[in-house]
Amino acid sequence: MHKGSVVAALLCLVLAVSSACCGEVTIKDDLGREVKINSPSERVVFMMENALKTYYAVGDPQNIVALKDDKWMRKLLEDIFPVIDPDFEKKLTVSVTGGSVDLESLAKANPDLVVLWATTPDDANIKAIEETLGVPVFAIFVRSIDDVIHQVDTMGVISDRMERAAEVKGIMHDYMNITTNVTSSIPESERPKVYWMWTDVLGTAGVKSGINDLIELAGGVNVMKFSENETAMMMEHPVVNLEMLIKLNPDVIYMWYNENLDPEDILTGEDFKGWKDINAVKNGRVYEIRNPYLFDAFSPRMPLALLHVAMDLHPDRFKDVDMNKTIDDFHVEMWGVHYPSMEKA
């Protein structure tokens, strides 16, 4: 776990509490920028879906006034959002064209806070929104599992519901423990080497990434840890070469959800004959995140993603876990909704 993230979380809370008496608080966003916001913020616009899930677990749905006009997010209409928030489908939408937020549609929502994904404080959208509309922007930049948990604190401050945020973190830890209570005692020799396959097939997760944390907590070892090339190892999203992958010889290949490819293609496809001597392929150990919405590692559903991966890595150790019941219980505790029936608990 990253000590830096814990320190950042504490600093964030200290800053928040120090001025909480006035309704306006100063918090540090994920890029280390100090942002003055109202606590609670009552007209929040979410330009990313992962943080929205976190907010719905903690805050008041009525305080969300607009969402990013995103097909990925719209697809989630079939998910829990409309059950938690009856007005979900009526929310205003803000379009993003060529990576730039449409300031007019954003202004129409009259927000008092915008939450968006950014990787640098110089992000053009942050500057445009803050300088043109004078609206504070909270930048989200998730690089580790700790960052996912820290996001709950952030939403607690934004919604002025720190107690509920503490509860949500507790739920996340409890469900993570279902996995880590088992995997923490697995000796190094029994931890499979895992190659994480993003949608670009030869693109993977470096050792300094949230997926690396997920693999380790699930009882595996990121195969990139054994790369002889330190540059590739340390990159967030290195693109490897097939010969390099054969040399690394992972025991398991874990695919992020891929609309164009299935594990069966890797195991028997004509285009993947060069993969046949990799242990994972020889032993039929190629798995896929089957539902990217449900098993989203960068949202409060991270404990479910963790369990999903761990069950594939160590099926014998988790044979007594009822995944469907775990998913349902988790959703009831987190959002008060049964899954997959989508009935209010």
Partner 1 sequence: MVLSLLIGKFAIAPGDVIRLVIFNLLAAETSYPGVYHTVIFEVRLPRIFLGMLVGASLSVAGAAFQGIFRNPLVSPYILGLSSGAAFGAALALAVAPQFPVQISALFFSLVAVGFAYYIATSRGSTPIISLLLAGVIVSAVFDSLLSIIQMAVNERALQSIVYWLMGSLAAASWSKIYSALPMSLLGCAVIFLLRWRLNVLAMGDEEARSVGMNPELYKAVFVVAASLAASSVVSVVGIIGFVGLVIPHMIRMIFGPDHTHLIPLCITFGAAFMVLVDVIARVGMGFEVPVGVITTLIGAPFFAYLLRSTRSGGWE
User: Where do contacts with partner 1 occur on this chain (CB under 8 A)?
Assistant: 70-72, 96-98, 198-203, 227, 229-232, 235, 238-244, 246-247, 256-257, 259-260, 270-274, 276-277, 292
Task: Check if the beta carbon of residue 147 is closer than 8 Å to that of residue 7.
Answer: no
φ, ψ (nearest 5 deg) of residue 8: -60, -40
Q: CB 257 → partner 1: shortest distance, Å?
A: 8
Q: CB 151 → partner 1: shortest distance, Å?
A: 18
Alpha-carbon span 136 to 116, nearest angstrom: 11
Structure tokens at 23: 């309704």
Alpha-carbon span 167 to 149, nearest angstrom: 12
Task: Report the residue number, 182 or 266, with the smaller CB distance to partner 1.
Answer: 266
Three-class SS of residue 88? helix
Task: Find all residues with CB under 8 Å of 57, minimum gap 6, and list them.
Answer: 152, 155, 168, 300, 334, 335
> Any bridge partners for residue 27, and if so which?
35
Task: Check if the beta carbon of residue 253 is closer than 8 Å to that of residue 197.
Answer: yes
Task: Find all residues with CB under 8 Å of 219, minimum gap 6, and list them.
Answer: 179, 182, 183, 186, 191, 310, 313, 314, 317
Q: CB 226 → partner 1: shortest distance, Å?
A: 13
